Amino acid sequence: AQSVTQLDSQVPVFEEAPVELRCNYSSSVSVYLFWYVQYPNQGLQLLLKYLSGSTLVESINGFEAEFNKSQTSFHLRKPSVHISDTAEYFCAVSRRGYQKVTFGTGTKLQVIP
Amino acid sequence: DGGITQSPKYLFRKEGQNVTLSCEQNLNHDAMYWYRQDPGQGLRLIYYSQIVNDFQKGDIAEGYSVSREKKESFPLTVTSAQKNPTAFYLCASTPPGTQETQYFGPGTRLLVL
């Protein structure tokens, strides 16, 4: 079985400051890793994903995440946040060859002006 | 525009009543999913379907039922057996031949009167 842990339920950060949202996963086999973002009362949107290859993946709006196999982590980072980044962020994992995706409990990012 | 639509946006259920949430997609995706979202608990899988006329229980299927008579449609019925149905329900789909990105609908919020 696979699982995802997002230890921080809320992360407040000042505008233009850096942020890291933590994600650790547990799986005995190779996995795909994802970060999704959810704005209030909306569905989730894919932010970025790791399937294979380079362990550092980037999104079009400045977020990046690094797959660390030894630490079983996939932390999300942004060097300078904007007010519009205020949202809930979900880390997710799926086993290669399986349809099911397991989501973490989410981290609410609150950007303070 | 291609995408996933869910209706209604808000739904009210009376005691002992069955209600059906609609999910339609025109993305030509094979796999479709239903999730339940509660504050602080992330997304939990209710049911998923990989092809027409076939579906599997997820982690919290009790009190719910689904059908998959058409590729485009995956309705979810919340039965009277579901004693705590108040939640945000999200439908998602995945492109054929892969288990990568999940595409989400805008969600339906179910409230009990």
Largest Cα–Cα distance of chain A, in whole Å? 44
Distance between B21 CA and the closest CA of chain A, angstroms: 15
pLDDT in tens, B101-111: 899 999 999 99
How high is the mean pLDDT of chain A?
92
Which residues of chain A neighbour B92 with C-beta distances below 8 Å? 43-44
CB within 8 Å of B51: residues ≥ 6 apart: B30, B68
pLDDT score for B83: 86
Cα distance between residue A68 and residue B110, in whole Å: 39
Q: Are A18 and A81 in contact (CB under 8 A)?
A: yes
Average the pLDDT over B9-35 and give the result: 93
What do you get for the CA distance between the two ends of chain B, in Å? 35
Work out the minimum CA distance from B15 to partner chain A, whole angstroms.
25
Q: Tens of pLDDT along B34-93?
A: 999 998 889 999 999 999 999 999 999 999 999 999 999 999 999 988 889 999 999 999
**B95: confidence class by pLDDT, cuts 50, 70, 90:** confident
pLDDT of residue A104: 95
- Chain B, residues 71-100, CB within 8 A of chain A, namely 90, 92, 94, 99-100
Residues 6 or more apart whose Cβ sits within 8 Å of residue A90? A6, A35, A36, A37, A38, A44, A103, A104, A106, A107, B42, B43
Q: Which pLDDT score is estimated for B72?
A: 97
Q: Residue A86: pLDDT above 70?
A: yes
Cross-chain residue pair A104–B102, CB shorter than 8 Å: no
Binary contact (A51, B45; C-beta < 8 A): no
For residues B1 and A90, what is the distance between their CA atoms, to the nearest angstrom? 26
Output the six-digit token pair for B20: 């059906």
Q: What is the pLDDT of residue B40?
A: 84
Quick one: pLDDT band at residue A27, thresholds 50, 70, 90? confident
Inter-chain touch A42–B90, beta carbons under 8 Å: no
Chain A touched by B107 (CB under 8 Å): yes
What are A69's two structure tokens? 């196999």
Please name the residue of chain B whose CA is at the shortest distance from the CA of residue A40: B106
Is the confidence at residue A110, as pLDDT, over 70? yes
Residue B1 pLDDT grade (very low, low, confident, very high; cuts 50, 70, 90)? low
The Cβ of residue A44 has, within 10 Å, a number of other Cβ atoms equal to 28
Q: What is the DSSP string of chain B?
A: ---EEEE-SEEEE-TT--EEEEEEE-S--SEEEEEEEETTTEEEEEEEEEETTEEEE-TT-TTEEE--SBTTB--EEE-TT-S---EEEEEEEE-TT-----EE---EEEEE-
Contact B101, B48 (CB under 8 A): no
Is B101 close to A44, i.e. CB distance below 8 A?
A: no
pLDDT band at B16 (very low <50, low <70, confident <90, very high): confident
Compare CB distances from A42 to B43, B100, B106 and report the shortest one's residue.
Answer: B106
Q: pLDDT band for position B98 (50/70/90)?
A: low
Task: Sort out which chain A residues have CB atoms less than 8 A from B100's CB and list them.
Answer: 32, 49, 51
Residue with tokens 């809930």: A88
